[in-house]
Structure 1
């Protein structure tokens, strides 16, 4: 492989703040450790946890890079000890614990997925974070199976659009919420079966109407707070509620008797702090079950907008404005 530079461009704010703290700086090129690879980053996905980290609300886990960015796509340019040589120069996308907003990033080889022909680096970079999240929560924790009806909040977010796309590939009936009639229309275009404008409609009443009073089998919730008891009212008996974010608050009062009487399951998870071993197992599952849809072109992420690395502040401002539909991506090079 070609000689690597000593330094690289990166976005590495030294203090919390608004989007304006996201400025280009120079940082040393990281070195891959055992079981890791160094990726020359072509594109990186922008995610809500990046915004939280920038504000000082979501510090990276121990040992992770302080540079934001949880998913990248690019080409492997260096191998750590124990990585098979067949990975050299391979185009991959990867889920990482930090470091994506830079020219080079380190990833555990178990968290890399080969980029097939026909998949752009921009699309590849927009897949890992949402794909790992939706797969582990909707299909593993909520046990969603073909024929189930699922309610997903934030239907036009990166998570929401991926949930719609995966749900349709695996035979789910997808109900989503969104904050405007325009976003509801986009959700239906993407593949949702029903879209509810939560600003003008009561989503509990709408789910009851849509399901003819039966309720849904699972709820994927990014809202938390006062949404949780309302979500439980949407569930059918034996339904599963999965929490993955708490945008409206982390504390809630829930009706325990209803949970007992109707045998409801409340669960949830976070992804960033999970072990490399766990994430590698998920990557193997995705390679076997979902990646065939990527290879044949049936699964592509919904891309909202692409910004160059030096405009990371604008990318964060767009995410915080809430007008995006799908994924925001940084184009970096390589």
Structure 2
């Protein structure tokens, strides 16, 4: 066991329930490493968990925080690819808002040269989500057209940048001119301002009525029928967030007529084996882009971990572009 400091929720509720206090980290397993955390990414699921609206998987640590950047302090007896002192960024099942956390060896990635800890902490959750749910469940293929609904958030921004860098034709949605400009700087062919434009009419006009092959939906809720109408034959709608609610009406006829697929996925609930497959894709395809300087960190703001309440307030305000990060070390 390892004595540490971390954020603990004193009950369910607003940001005020989060407290910085002493915690105990369990012993590492044979294929795990203990990481001294220097920075941790903030994700919307952290806010939902704090509110009691997202069930923690039974085998996951109960603490908040799904991605970290830091330094390896201890290695399990079977760890072969990492050494004490290595700088890594990693995906965790929980407990990242702390000075120390445990990471599976295969879910650790090299901390990019020249990047700060805060910059490195923006990547694991976003990239793993894209690899597992975009290229994995969504089966995005070369030459396909992709729409990202919610393109200015931490994961949506990263998905837009990576897909555009890989040569995909990407459309996004966002609210307000600041976010629209942000998405277009990341490489979106067009970012539709949902505050002033009719999303689905614009999308069909943009594609000459043929629609897109894949929709990555970080928003959920309303307009399910319109999303399906925007898909081409054989298209896939991948739902990864429910910011606008969990209920919507659907015309099932269009599913049959166009042979469409609807997938609902969350990264945290995936098995370790599925996460490791996504991690392999990340290493082979995306890490080289980072090392070449073609994928850049997308940091909205950085807060000391003792100001985690302010970080969650910014997340819930919806004003951010890119990733909100906590500085720990």
Unpaired runs of 5+ residues, structure 2, are: none
Q: Structure 2 residue aligned with 1:140, among 123, 133, 136?
A: 136
Q: What TM-score, normalized by structure 1, do the two folds share?
A: 0.94
- Separation of aligned partners in 2, 1:44 and 1:84: 25
CA distance 1:63–1:239, change in 2 (3 Å): closer
Shift of 1:289: 1.1
Pairing partner for 1:68 from 64, 71, 81: 64
Alignment match, 2:44: 48
| 1:109-165, Cα deviation, whole Å (9 max, x unpaired) | 111112232232112111010101112222222222333221111110011101111
* Residues 32, 80 of structure 1: 8 Å contact kept: yes
- Please report the RMSD computed on the Cα atoms of aligned residues, expressed in angstroms: 1.5
1:62-211 mapped onto 2 (5 Å cutoff): 62-84=58-80, 86-211=82-207
Distance in 2 of aligned mates of 1:280 and 1:149: 26
1:299 Cα deviation from its structure 2 partner? 1.2
Q: Say which SS state the counterpart of residue 294 (structure 2) adopts.
A: coil
1:31 Cα deviation from its structure 2 partner: 2.4
Q: Distance in 1 between matches of 2:30 and 2:137?
A: 31
Equivalent residue of 1:317, what SS? helix
Partner of residue 213, structure 1 = 209
- Which runs of 4 or more aligned residues in structure 1 lie more than 3 Å from their structure 2 counterparts after TM superposition? none
Secondary structure (helix, strand or coil) at the match of 2:243 reads: coil
Deviation at 1:6, TM superposition (A): 5.0
Equivalent residue for 2:259, pick from 249, 259, 263: 263
Structural mapping, 1:216-255, within 5 Å: 216-255=212-251
How many residues align structurally?
A: 329
1:297 aligns with 2:282: no
Q: Distance in 1 between matches of 2:249 and 2:81?
A: 54
1:110 and 1:276 in contact (8 A); partners too? no
Instruction: After TM superposition, give the deviation of residue 196 of structure 1 in Å.
Output: 0.7
For residue 36 of structure 1, report the CA deviation from its aligned partner: 0.9
Equivalent residue, structure 2, for 1:22? 18
CA distance in 2, matches of 1:240, 1:54: 31
CA distance in 2, matches of 1:14, 1:49: 17
